[in-house]
Structure formats: C-alpha cells, structure tokens
Amino acid sequence: MKKMALALLSTAFLVGIYSFTGVSSTKEVITYKVEAGKSRVDWVGSKKNDFHTGFFNVKSGAVQVNGGKVTGGEFVIDLANIKVTDAAGAKLEGHLKSGDFFDVAKYGEATYKITNVVYSDETNATITGELNLKGASLPVSFKAAIRSADEKGLFAEAFFAMDRTLFGINYGVGNIAKDVQVAVHLYATK
C-alpha cells in the first residue's frame, strides 16, 4: 500500500511539473539560400489606356524553415536592373530608373525582412515584414502559397497589389494607377 501511494504521488508530481512546462516539438531550423537566377518579382503597372509589365530579380536572400513551415527570411531585390517585358522596353526602363520612380542611382536595391508568418492551412500563409524601398521602410503583408518546403528546397509564390505612393513614388498619379500588381516567385535551396 505504501509503494502504491508513493507511485501515485510521484505520478501526480510529474504530471504537475509537465503541465507547467512547454514540451517543445520544434525541429531544427533550416536556412535555405535564395536561388538568385530563378527567383524574381514580376510587376504590372497600369495607366488610363494601357499597362506595362516587367520584373526585378531577387539578388540574394535566405529563408528560415522549421518543421516544413516558413518562419523568417530576408531578401535583396535588384532595382538597378529592372526589366520591362513589353514593347516600351529600354525607354521605359530608363524612366523607371530615374528619380521619378525608383531613383536607382541612389537606391539600387530594396530589402524585405519577414517579421511574422501565420499559416491558415498547410500551404497558405500570411507573410508580414518590412519593405525598405527608396529610403522608406514600411510594413507590407500579403498572402503566400508555400508550394514546397522540404529537404529538396523551398518554392513559394505570392500575388498582391501594392500602393507605390506609400514609398514616395508619386509620378503620374491620376494618369498612372497608384496600385502596382506584384507576383513574387521565390526558389531557395539548402
């Protein structure tokens, strides 16, 4: 009887201790390096009677993954080498590089640092972070589809609109839409 009481007391003690301490089931955080040649940010800018398309390459970056879930990351976007993919080509590229838009002589890069990730299901998440663009650092959130985050690497996509005027890019407001449509395609490997 004494042994039974001691066993029950020990069990109750252990249950009490474990109820106040978090049991960690997190795995090791894995850092994936962005594949610069494959990752990019596509954009579509609209105006009253037309639109233009193009992209920026993601110059470098890293993504942290824990248990198959994105937990953080930081990226450098190459503004200085903006590409226009429609007929406006080099002429529009020159204007977008000027002080009217990105002022790449002063701000050749933009950075985005993830500050929070909230998953709504296994593959969809809301990513929140700080975008530093043209000297302004502002919070930017968007929904992303994490297509894969496993031992082979990471592939994620996001499609959203962004108000360019929040970053001081005000050229042509009234004729050129303030919202730019953005598509991010991010590839990363160990």
Asked if pLDDT for residue 125 goes beyond 50, the answer is yes
Percentage of the chain beyond pLDDT 90 is: 83
Per-domain boundaries in the chain: 24-189
Q: What is the pLDDT of residue 41?
A: 98
Average pLDDT over all residues of the chain: 89
Q: What is the pLDDT of residue 9?
A: 39
Percentage of the chain beyond pLDDT 70 is: 86
Q: How confident is the model at residue 72 (pLDDT cuts 50, 70, 90)?
A: very high
CB atoms within 10 A of CB 29: 11
Domain 24-189 has CATH 3.10.620.30: no
Asked if pLDDT for residue 15 goes beyond 70, the answer is no
Q: What is the pLDDT of residue 26?
A: 57
Q: What is the pLDDT of residue 94?
A: 97
Q: What is the pLDDT of residue 27?
A: 76
Residue, of 82 and 6, whose pLDDT is higher: 82
No. of helices (H) and no. of strands (E), the chain? 2, 9
Q: What is the pLDDT of residue 153?
A: 94
**Burial (CB count <10 Å: 0-12, 13-18, 19+), residue 125:** buried
Q: How confident is the model at residue 182 (pLDDT cuts 50, 70, 90)?
A: very high
pLDDT in tens, 20-42: 433 344 579 999 999 999 999 99
Q: What is the pLDDT of residue 8?
A: 37
Query: What is 10-72 written as a DSSP string?
Result: HHHHHHHHHHHSPPP----EEEEEE-TTT-EEEEEEEETTEEEEEEEEEEEEEEEEETTEEEE
Q: How confident is the model at residue 131 (pLDDT cuts 50, 70, 90)?
A: very high
